[in-house]
Amino acid sequence: MPIEREIELTGQKGNVLIWQATGLGQIELDIPPTVYPPREDSNLLDQTLAGLGSGLGKDLLEIGCGSGAISIAASLRGWNVSACDINPLAVAATRGNAAKYGFDWSTQIKEGGPGDIGKWMPEQGADVIVWNLPYIEPESGDCLGPMEESALIAKDQSAQLLKAVFSNPHLLNKGGIILLLHSSNQIGQNIGRDWRKAGWATRNVSQTTVGDERLTIVACWRPFENASITRLDSCPSTNDEIINLGMVRQGTFLSTEIQVSGRGYAGREWFNSKGGFMGSWALSDKSINRGPEVVQLAATVAVLDNFSALLNLGLPSHSWVHGSELEACGLRVKWPNDIWLRSQDTIGKLCGVLVEGRTQGDDVQVVLGIGINRKSVPQLIESVGWNKLFPHTFEEIFPIIHASVASLLEVHPMVADSDEGCVFNTIYAMMRLTLAESRTQAFGLDSKGGLHTHAGIVRSTGEIQWEWI
């Protein structure tokens, strides 16, 4: 019986481990035989938390505290720590190890975790929630008990936390983030998609490789929390409407049912189908530091993420290799700002992305406009709608694309900017078939997002004519 095995293992002698915390020196830990010890994954999580700087009394919740290594290190950096674990011996170990460093955590460390009804939650909300999600098989010689082993193979851990935060929004403070460490296995790859579909922004912030396994920390947060959302019956141009608002909070969003004077790349007129997506976001003025081409390509990846989530595929922004799954669905990127869809009976433009800016004195405005057809557009010969891929409405799509734009472009004080290398790799992977289907010869993207051709680097601010075969 599992409980008998747990009792048997608890009678064995534990270990004393000296763990090197990032920037803090060595931490001595007493580890009972059925408690998960700190390993490479713990080091990655600790390095990521160290990168946030001093906690300055802010609140941190660690789920699955194990030996207490992460919680103790965070507390030494100035965080107000609370923690939980389903293993009562882990709770005891964390309390005992913390006492060595002068912390009385008799009430701050609780038994339980997501899936339990409330008893594991701290009394006040957290600014940061961290969880090294169970994902590995015990190594030979390890003495993890049945409770730990069952946690290692559980498949719905992240989903349980998502439900907990949805049911208890106070669990995460405003402006807070959740850091989830997972592996490159299928369960781990689904985390970003599942949180994005629930309307949360997600972004890879740290990675390392252990053997043939890639460990990743993904940050999750509520997108553009302080921004307003407006829906108009009609307007000349959603980009112009945002620009005319002046300096507003990043993420301020405006959409319309009918756009009278919409425009696309190089000033071309933009037409959209009824019920389609026509919307614009105000981006942080710091976005200009990344360059307009990088911002535009990142926005295109956000749209690709949106399609992936709706199609229950992996997110390209989390791993560019997921672009191949979208290629199989017929989606293509037509550099620099269009997404096309090819099927057996048609090919046409599905989406356009346009980044614009205006500078007045020291004030810089950056606005992102995205238009996605729901159906083919009568005014355009080559156009296609998302109804070829899925049946969703604007209202169903908006939370996901809003979260996706934030995932790639929101400037968040606790989250590093999205990785430009991943953006470029994703875009170029999605361009390969487009290039093969066109007469334009191109060989990759430069460090600023420009296109390498026989004639040299082509910038998206210039003109390039594509001829489809």
Q: Which of 128, 135, 161, 136 is nearest to 50 (CA)?
A: 128
Please report the beta strands in 133-268, taking only residues with DSSP state E, as ranges in sequence order: 172-183, 201-210, 213-221, 229-235, 253-259
Find the mean pLDDT for residues 54-60: 94
3-class secondary-structure state, position 378: coil
Please report the beta strands in 345-432, taking only residues with DSSP state E, as ranges in sequence order: 347-360, 363-372
413: domain range?
229-458
Q: Is residue 469 assigned to a domain?
A: no
The least confident of 72-86, 186-200, 313-327, 443-457 is 443-457
Answer yes or no: do 142 and 235 share one domain.
no
Answer yes or no: do 344 and 422 share one domain.
yes
**Domain total in the chain:** 2
The least confident of 194-198, 294-298, 341-345 is 341-345
List, for residues 218-254, the tens digit of each pLDDT value: 999 999 998 999 999 888 889 999 999 888 999 999 9
The reported pLDDT for the residue numbered 140 is 45
Answer yes or no: do 54 and 173 share one domain.
yes
Query: Cα separation of 405 and 407, whole Å?
Result: 5
The reported pLDDT for the residue numbered 211 is 83
Answer yes or no: do 215 and 237 share one domain.
no
Answer yes or no: do 99 and 215 share one domain.
yes
Answer yes or no: do 315 and 354 share one domain.
yes
The reported pLDDT for the residue numbered 461 is 47
Q: Which of 175, 205, 221 is the last residue of a domain?
A: 221
Q: Which of 354, 335, 305 is nearest to 444 (CA)?
A: 335
List, for residues 399-421, the tens digit of each pLDDT value: 999 999 999 999 999 999 998 88
Query: What CATH number does residue 273 fall under?
Result: 3.30.930.10
Query: What CATH number does residue 19 fall under?
Result: 3.40.50.150
The pTM assigned to this predicted structure is 0.88
Answer yes or no: do 212 and 285 share one domain.
no
Q: Convert 289-323 to b/e letters by CB count within 10 Å (16 or more is b).
A: ebbbbbbbbbbbbbbbbbbbbbeebbbbbbbbebb
Query: Cα separation of 75 and 59, whole Å?
Result: 10
Answer yes or no: do 264 and 200 share one domain.
no
Answer yes or no: do 14 and 158 share one domain.
yes
The reported pLDDT for the residue numbered 231 is 93
Query: Would you call the peptide bond into 336 cis, given omega within 30 degrees of 0 as the criterion?
Result: yes
Q: Is residue 337 assigned to a domain?
A: yes
Answer yes or no: do 447 and 329 share one domain.
yes
Residue 381: pLDDT band with limits 50, 70, 90: low
Does 90 have pLDDT greater than 80?
Answer: yes
Q: Is residue 468 assigned to a domain?
A: no
State how beta strands 331-334 and 277-283 pair: unpaired
Q: Which of 221, 250, 268 is the last residue of a domain?
A: 221
CB 177 within 8 A of CB 171: no
Q: Is residue 239 assigned to a domain?
A: yes
Answer yes or no: do 190 and 116 share one domain.
yes
List, for residues 201-213, the tens digit of each pLDDT value: 999 999 998 888 8
The reported pLDDT for the residue numbered 272 is 66
List, for residues 117-133, the tens digit of each pLDDT value: 668 999 899 999 999 99
- Whose tokens are 């082509």? That residue is 458
Q: Is residue 463 assigned to a domain?
A: no
223: DSSP letter: T
Say how many residues make up the chain.
469
Q: Is residue 124 assigned to a domain?
A: yes
Does 4 have pLDDT greater than 50?
Answer: no
Query: Cα separation of 257 and 248, whole Å?
Result: 22
Residue 22: pLDDT band with limits 50, 70, 90: very high
Percentage of the chain beyond pLDDT 70 is 83
The reported pLDDT for the residue numbered 146 is 47
Q: Which of 204, 221, 238 is the last residue of a domain?
A: 221
The reported pLDDT for the residue numbered 132 is 94
Find the mean pLDDT for residues 297-316: 95
Answer yes or no: do 289 and 352 share one domain.
yes
The reported pLDDT for the residue numbered 262 is 62
Higher pLDDT pick, 148 / 207:
207
The reported pLDDT for the residue numbered 9 is 44
